[in-house]
Amino acid sequence: MIDARISDMIRIKENAAPGLASGRARLYVTADVLALIRGSSALPTQISYLADVPLDSRGKLPKLKKQRVLLFARPVGNKPGEIQLTGVDSQYLWSPELDARTRGITREVLASDAPPAVTGIGNAFHVPGALPGEGETQIFVKTATGAPISLQVLRRPGEKPHWGVSLGDIVDPNAGAPKPETLAWYRLACGLPRTLPDSAITAETPENAQAAREDYQVVLRDLGPCT
């Protein structure tokens, strides 16, 4: 991830830009590096790359020269001055909010206790409470590293369901839901299946299995879409 300022750009003719989507232009961009937010190797003070940018409503190029941008990119072979954007929309206009969010997520990714990628659901169970409408569901999540993640959903009569996530072997009854746009939120919102698999609740009674399914949907609705 690179913090840079565009110093120059040249539009490439469409017949020399294979795979260019309609409504976009391909640019050869030169930019001055302001900071390397994350990377495996040092960068020179100036870099170049190709970027497919959307045209405005009049079919004109956006005014990008001298603009500060955040780039998500990878190095190009043995060419230290060249990078390749990781996707079509991997160049963003810089803002204090985007910069802070990007650096915050980077710190989370590099932390020793970073939440791992979610690969599925292990098992789940529901325990009814003593009162009608009371109960607790626990859902154990599979991860790419094998590190444990569990979800807990508590229901009390007359109250909105409360859920939380525990990262580790110990289930924390006081855990809350992850904040939006954190790494933990991303792992769950983008990794959890859209429905609770039947294989996760085979040992439950039909009533408890249905309660677990409903509590799982509470989690998904609260997380929101993977954006």
pTM of the model: 0.76
Which tokens go with 101?
A: 């969010």
Q: What is the Rg, in whole angstroms, of the alpha carbon atoms belonging to the chain?
A: 23
* Predicted pLDDT at 174: 79
The segment(s) of the chain belonging to CATH 2.40.50 are 2-110
CATH class of 2-110: mainly beta
pLDDT tops 90 at residue 173 = no
Cβ contact 30:56 at 8 Å: no
Chain segment 90-130, per-residue pLDDT in tens? 999 999 999 998 999 899 999 988 999 999 999 999 999 99
pLDDT tops 90 at residue 84 = yes
Which tokens go with 11?
A: 């539009």
